[in-house]
Amino acid sequence: MDTRGGSGNGALLGLRDRPFLFLNVSYFLVFSNISLFYLYPLVLEGMGGTPEIIGWIMGSFSVATVITRPLMGKLVGSRGESPVMWMGIAVVLLASTGYLLLERIGFPVFLVRLVHGIGYSAFISGSFSLVARAVSPEKQGQAYGLVGASIMGGTAIAPPVGEVLLRHGGFAALCLAASACALVACLAVLMGGLKLGPGSSNGVREKVRYVPLLKDLSFLFLMVSTLLFAHCQSTLANFLALISAQNGVGAGRFFFVAFCVAILALLTMGKIMDRFGKCRFLKFAYPLLALGLLLVPGLVGSWPYVLPAFLFGAGIGLLFPAHNALAAGYGAGRQKAAAMSFFTSIYDTGFITGAVFSGWVAQSWSLKGLFMFTGCIALGGLLIVLFSPIRDPENHKPPRR
């Protein structure tokens, strides 16, 4: 059974239309909310948390997102994208205010992190399915490039703003700012006004099914590539500060350059990607990512750090929209909810392995060895896209019955 297809709703959403603009505002705000809590380990440390406990608490957020994502995909299929997005942002808002009630480490801390992750999972399932269904396949690269820029913008800006809030207003100020982001995100979804209801075929509501996707080798290899890409991205995000400190410098300058390059690529390369093919850009971007990671240990402590930062930023700026746009090409109608929920679940899994497995590698080997090993993983991603059956939507041939 061919798992690729059109949106099932026509090209409902233009990239300059009001709904898409407000959708990107909601992405920026939700990821600003999530990124403000990247500073939560500082609070947990003040509560007496050990590094191991802090790791488990922070990781419980990602565990909740991965475990609940398939369920969220089915919920999108039965209720539609907009209600699930609303529910997700409301839960994120509830969790953000819940942090204010926590005074010591215990089960309530884990509970709030789990609830926060569930809300994020619902928002991601609904919003990514919405883009996959409502944007024309010929513009998916551009669409996910803009989405990626909105996400990365929030991720880049929120932590330094959060540091100022913590310094002058304490953790309460940070929680209130995160809650405000979630509240305004709710308003952005409302003002966008785009609503897609549950999909149907000839008046019969479809069920979201994952089995057809798992039988498609092209989709499965795309998921392997997605996992490797996310793992590499997470490894650098979690361990760059440590290897930078070993070299007597801060990590901020590397992240600044990398994020600027990534956002520039996300904003400018989507149209070219749609024209020349997403798979071609996967093959071009993986070597950039790999080389950037391999050069980190030798250059991060001196001014040539700009080179690995540029390469890494360009790599993620191209790989993010390419993977998203390819995943959006699978499924028709409600089955796009299954494809995007599965895809985002695998993506989030890479962020778990990039923290947990890479931590084990760093402890068993060294930070330098970790980045060399992760660069090799990126080269493995290149081999996957070179020799696997991953194809662009327009070049995909349905498997024989």
289-332 confidence digits (pLDDT tens): 999 999 999 998 898 999 999 999 999 999 999 998 898 888 76
* Domain ranges, ordered by start, for the chain: 16-193, 209-391
Q: Which residue has the higher pLDDT, 236 or 77?
A: 236
Per-residue model confidence as pLDDT tens digits over 373-389 = 999 999 999 999 999 88
Q: At what angle do helices 217-246 and 278-299 cross, to 10 degrees?
A: 20
Cβ-proximal residues to 275 (8 Å cutoff; 6+ apart), any chain? none
pLDDT band at residue 92 under the 50/70/90 scheme: very high
- Mean pLDDT within 186-199: 70
- Mean pLDDT within 264-270: 89
Q: What is the 3-state secondary structure (H, E, C) of 343-392?
A: HHHHHHHHHHHHHHHHHHHHHHCCHHHHHHHHHHHHHHHHHHHHHCCCCC
pLDDT band at residue 348 under the 50/70/90 scheme: confident
Query: Domain 16-193 falls in which CATH fold?
Result: Growth Hormone; Chain: A; (1.20.1250)
Q: Mean pLDDT lowest for which of 121-125, 159-163, 364-368?
A: 159-163
| pLDDT score for 2 | 40
Q: What is the 3-state secondary structure (H, E, C) of the chain?
A: CCCECCCCCCCCCCCCCHHHHHHHHHHHHHHHHHHHHHHHHHHHHHCCCCHHHHHHHHHHHHHHHHHHHHHHHHHHHHHCHHHHHHHHHHHHHHHHHHHHHCCCCCHHHHHHHHHHHHHHHHHHHHHHHHHHHHCCHHHHHHHHHHHHHHHHHHHHHHHHHHHHHHHHHHHHHHHHHHHHHHHHHHHHHHHHCCCCCCCEECCEECCCCCHHHHCCHHHHHHHHHHHHHHHHHHHHHHHHHHHHHHCCCCCHHHHHHHHHHHHHHHHHCHHHHHHHCHHHHHHHHHHHHHHHHHHHHHHCCCHHHHHHHHHHHHHHHHHHHHHHHHHHCECCCCHHHHHHHHHHHHHHHHHHHHHHHHHHHHHHCCHHHHHHHHHHHHHHHHHHHHHCCCCCHHHCCCCCC
| pLDDT score for 398 | 41
- Mean pLDDT within 278-284: 90
- Of the CATH numbers 1.20.1250.20, 1.10.3720.10, 3.40.50.12280, 3.90.1150.10, which one belongs to the domain with range 209-391? 1.20.1250.20
Q: Identical fold at 16-193 and 209-391? A: yes
Q: Which residue has the higher pLDDT, 78 or 383?
A: 383
Task: Answer whether residue 5 shows pLDDT above 70.
Answer: no
Q: What percent of the chain stands above pLDDT 70?
A: 89
- Mean pLDDT within 32-57: 81
Q: Which residue has the higher pLDDT, 392 or 259?
A: 259
Per-residue model confidence as pLDDT tens digits over 148-182 = 899 988 888 888 888 888 889 999 999 999 999 99
pTM of the model: 0.78
Cβ proximity of 340 and 128 under 8 Å: yes
What mean pLDDT, rounded, does the chain reach? 84
| pLDDT score for 220 | 93
